Amino acid sequence: MENSDTPVQGPGSILLAATPIGDVADASPRFIRALGEAEIIAAEDTRRLLGLANRLQTRITGTLISLHDHNEADKAERLVDLAEGGARVLLVSDAGMPTVSDPGFRVVRAAVNRGVQVSALPGPSAPITALAVSGLPSDRFSFEGFLPRKPGEAQAYLLALAHDPHTLIFFESPKRLNETLRAMATTFGPQRQGVVCRELTKTHEEILRGELESLVEQTTGEVLGEITIVIAGYRGRGNAEEHVPAVLALASEGMRLKDAAAEVAEATGLRKNELYKAALRRKEKG
């Protein structure tokens, strides 16, 4: 067991620390100690970190540096310089583990390239928590983060995953949840199993399970909070009719119907002509 007098982090190193994703009581004693010991703390939102430290009743004595998506490229080397000079540099994001859909990757890469020690202080993780409670296969999974914002790019991204056998994990904003579930139902098929996890570990935690078409119906109203979506992996190529919506969705973005059918065929393993004819029949029916 580690001596309580021994610092959590050694000098001249970078430590990635997971912060609570909801319930502040999930912060580990080692994390609380690390906050008080670090000479440099790079935080995604410094005000949010100070609020967390206050709730944890711990005092931050180190220098706070703002590190977010828009400035990480500029600050990564400077943070590594500080660690190389002997400082204890602590990296934290707003929730969960840094680098997982959060800042930190460029800092870690720069540190690794320069031989600076990088360690992690494990803790809460929204993707792993959502996977654990989903009831979907957890032996093989893929974390996909946020989808592209443009509908056409999001549809193409999902299409590339349509044949993936891994359980898929996504982040999404509450405002885009229903739109994203509709796109998933169109691309993966309405009967694909999914789970929507909202406000994990918080007072108003909610977990919705069911086929994608059912999840679309359950999320038509106002949705609030942090969202993680878990989708079952591909278990069979299905038939052409099931994938016609994906062909038509690509065509609605300006792609020729034959080209759309070819792209869906490549992703699903179905025959291009079979998909094209099915989509043409659906289109003619209106």
Q: Which tens digit of pLDDT belongs to each residue from 34-71?
A: 999 999 999 999 999 999 999 999 999 999 999 999 99
The CA distance from 202 to 200, in Å, is 5
pLDDT reported for residue 118: 98
Residue holding tokens 């005092």? 59
Beta strands (DSSP E) in 93-172 are 117-121, 141-145, 167-172
The answer to whether 214 and 261 are in contact (CB under 8 A) is: no
Mean pLDDT in residue range 93-109? 96
Alpha carbon 281 to chain centroid distance?
38
Q: Which tens digit of pLDDT belongs to each residue from 248-276?
A: 888 888 889 988 888 888 877 788 888 88
Residue 1 pLDDT greater than 80, yes or no: no
User: For 206, left (φ over 0), alpha (ψ -120 to 50), or beta?
Assistant: beta
Query: Residue 106 in 3-state DSSP?
Result: helix
Mean pLDDT in residue range 163-187? 95
pLDDT tier at 6, thresholds 50, 70, 90: confident
Percent of the chain scoring above 90 in pLDDT: 76
Q: Does domain 127-231 have CATH number 3.40.640.10?
A: no
Mean pLDDT in residue range 20-30? 95
Global pTM reads 0.82
Higher pLDDT, 245 or 100: 100
pLDDT reported for residue 254: 85
Task: Classify residue 236 by burial, with Cβ atoms within 10 Å: 0-12, 13-18, 19+.
Answer: exposed
Q: Which CATH number fits domain 13-124: 3.40.640.10, 1.10.3470.10, 3.40.1010.10, 3.30.1330.10?
A: 3.40.1010.10
Distances 26 to 93, 100, 204, 215 between C-alpha atoms, Å: 15, 18, 16, 29
Distances 151 to 18, 43, 147, 187, 209 between C-alpha atoms, Å: 32, 31, 9, 12, 24
Mean pLDDT in residue range 131-144? 96
Task: Classify residue 163 by burial, with Cβ atoms within 10 Å: 0-12, 13-18, 19+.
Answer: middle
Q: Residue 21 contacts by C-beta under 8 Å, 6 or more apart in sequence?
A: 95, 96, 124, 125, 126, 129, 200, 201, 226
Tokens of 248: 């038509």
Segment (H or E) for 245: helix 240-252
The CA distance from 137 to 150, in Å, is 30
Residue 174 pLDDT greater than 50, yes or no: yes
pLDDT tier at 3, thresholds 50, 70, 90: low
pLDDT tier at 235, thresholds 50, 70, 90: confident
Summary mean pLDDT of the chain: 93
The CA distance from 118 to 13, in Å, is 6
- Among the listed ranges 13-17, 222-226, 279-283, which one has the minimum average pLDDT value? 279-283
The full set of domain ranges for the chain reads: 13-124, 127-231, 240-284
Say which DSSP state 60 is in: -
The CA distance from 243 to 188, in Å, is 8
pLDDT tier at 177, thresholds 50, 70, 90: very high
pLDDT reported for residue 163: 85
